[in-house]
Structure 1
Amino acid sequence: MENLLTNKTASLTELRDPKKVIENAGEQPVAILNRNQLEGYLVPASAVGKIDFRAAEAGSASSIFQSRRGQLESTLDYLKDK
């Protein structure tokens, strides 16, 4: 299994009752797994509210984009047709 960005997990079967998953999560994100494969994350609104969002400095967004360009190429190619 790959590294998860949270220590809370739930299966797709458990997600049939999302209220219970959210209650058990508290204020932490939950990794949603399907047969032990990561499908995505469920992030409670209370967890997002704690994040300090700040505007990026002039060159930092561009440098981050350039460093991750290889990872983003397939998405950029897909979006060209849209």
Structure 2
Amino acid sequence: MMYWAGGGWAWMAFMPLLWIALIALAVWAGIRFAHHPTTHGDSTHRAPEPRETPEEILDRRFATGEIDADTYTEARQRLAAHKPGPR
């Protein structure tokens, strides 16, 4: 006796798609957690690298010869004029 009259073909088409989606999800999760190991209370989590300050960028550009001495001096003065003071 057949209770689902004709519904068997839908399950036959759906089940392989379900298994493919589950396997793809497992592979994605494995790759994601393998490349980003983050555990609480462990030293495997790296702190973000500090960003360069405008003065450091200016010093680096002057040291590599990207800007000349006059431009460097003028930019340093502008940065000093716009630097916020202590609160």
Coarse TM-score class (shorter-chain normalised): under 0.3
Structure with max Cα Rg: 2
Higher relative CO (Cα under 8 Å, sequence separation at least 6) belongs to 1
Q: Structure 1-normalised TM-score? A: 0.25
